Structure 1
């Protein structure tokens, strides 16, 4: 999930501000938001659906730069939101010297990103930011995602998450009450491959028992998602371009009888 800065698995904290960003009731409402029209009278055109996490299945509840600024005030962060946004984008897209960007909990990578974005190297501040994004309240599912995924599962479609993410992802999916719907959750920091490496897609396909020619991947990054999936012979729909709502994904997967 490189590219869009506003979509990464940023960092979150147990700061008093966290609850003010997105209340639990708002999160639950977002997670359960309707969409899709059920699966009755339809049969799957694809046997498997792979989904990117950050920027596709997981959306930020509040823009990253605003969150960094708000959490940073007690630590002396005074740089403008625009500066934070530009710094974040610059640091996130910079070449990473190691094999994996997200190793384990991803702290080494995110420490650099936060410092570059805010000009603040305070360890306590970094931990606030990191922990903030470790909680579901900082994230939201797109409209209709919850309903669509359950309808597809009921129709016999195998579901998997395939994400360049650190070890916080599994907890986030649980917080959003969506983890149980997936037949596989493949996280780059756990399997040792990052998109666009075809290996990470193959691991997911093997885990759900579906061939690449009978599955589709949905992600928001041209290089990591589309190029990576296509290299394995896996069709890919770009989120925000090919499909803009989860109901569209459902309509394209479930063909009317």
Structure 2
């Protein structure tokens, strides 16, 4: 059955009606869930299920209020949206770990990594405190069975280097430049430790952004609305004037909308930064 939602409903689920924000957030989650399913991953499927018309109606609604540029700020997730590991994490853990006696296969390391990462960490909800060394040491040991401090330091340092990462979108630099030239401010919003700033410097992309809201510095991790609100504060915009793009429905989309921002799911609702720019109203 196709989805059909009026402009009034769009106003409701966009979170811009403060009296209905809770209901709006629930509707937002429902729409995000629908749009992120595999069957809606392309434009043709979106039209079949009626989602394409919903998205266009929402974009038209925003343009009727704000003009061609629909948002004053763009918030971007780091890992999984802006950049990803150049090689699978389990492969790196194994390759570097072999000289330290790591014998687990990549599949075993990945399974153990996921299990360790999902467990509660300490007495706090924060995994990334300052450089997050205690957390990552726990993850590495749990994933590989190796507690050698030299092994950990080699791994930890490796993931701060340019060779450890690649950009998800090769056109990112050109697009972010166009977005900023159009007057839209741009910030990173990331659950990461204090290595993020030197990492962005190593990747030569730190100048693409006007601000960084890093969980280790803000002391709040997505989906906590605090980190999104901090990003908006750093950019000098109201939450309702910002849109966040990220690859995690819970952390990125739901978290941003709970903060009052608009949000699009990377890999489903948008698949390139050029598409992000076009939806904002910026020509690239």
Structure-2-length-normalised TM-score: 0.73
Equivalent in the alignment of 2:94: 69
CA distances 1:42-84 after superposition (whole Å, capped 9, x unpaired)? 9522110001111111211110011111000110111111001
Matched, 1:112 2:138: yes
Matched, 1:193 2:244: no
Q: Is the 8 A contact 2:173 2:208 kept in 1?
A: no
Q: CA shift at 1:99, angstroms?
A: 3.4
CA distances 1:88-125 after superposition (whole Å, capped 9, x unpaired)? 11111212232311001011111111111111111111
Residue 69 of structure 2, aligned match among 19, 23, 44: 44
Q: Secondary structure at the match of 1:236?
A: strand
* Separation of aligned partners in 2, 1:237 and 1:93: 24
Equivalent in the alignment of 1:85: 110
- Is the alpha carbon distance of 1:74 and 1:226 closer, same or farther for their aligned partners in structure 2, counting shifts above 3 Å? same
Count of aligned positions: 215
5+ residue gaps, structure 2: 1-66
Residue 150 of structure 1, aligned match among 168, 177, 180: 177
Q: Is the 8 A contact 2:72 2:241 kept in 1?
A: yes
* Separation of aligned partners in 2, 1:63 and 1:255: 34
Higher RCO structure (Cα 8 Å, ≥6 apart): 1
* Separation of aligned partners in 2, 1:224 and 1:255: 26
Residue 177 of structure 1, aligned match among 190, 200, 204: 204
Q: Secondary structure at the match of 1:44?
A: coil
The structure with more radius of gyration: 2
Q: Residues 195-214 of structure 1 correspond to what in structure 2 (within 5 A)?
A: 195-214=222-241
Equivalent in the alignment of 1:19: none
Q: Is the 8 A contact 1:142 1:246 kept in 2?
A: no
Runs of 4+ displaced beyond 3 Å: none
Q: Secondary structure at the match of 1:49?
A: strand
Q: Secondary structure at the match of 1:167?
A: coil
Matched, 1:134 2:160: yes
* Separation of aligned partners in 2, 1:60 and 1:226: 22
* Separation of aligned partners in 2, 1:62 and 1:99: 28
Q: What is the RMSD of the two structures over their aligned residues, measured on CA atoms?
A: 1.4
5+ residue gaps, structure 1: 1-41
Q: Is the 8 A contact 1:219 1:238 kept in 2?
A: yes
CA distances 1:161-183 after superposition (whole Å, capped 9, x unpaired)? 01110000001111111111211
* Separation of aligned partners in 1, 2:239 and 2:213: 16
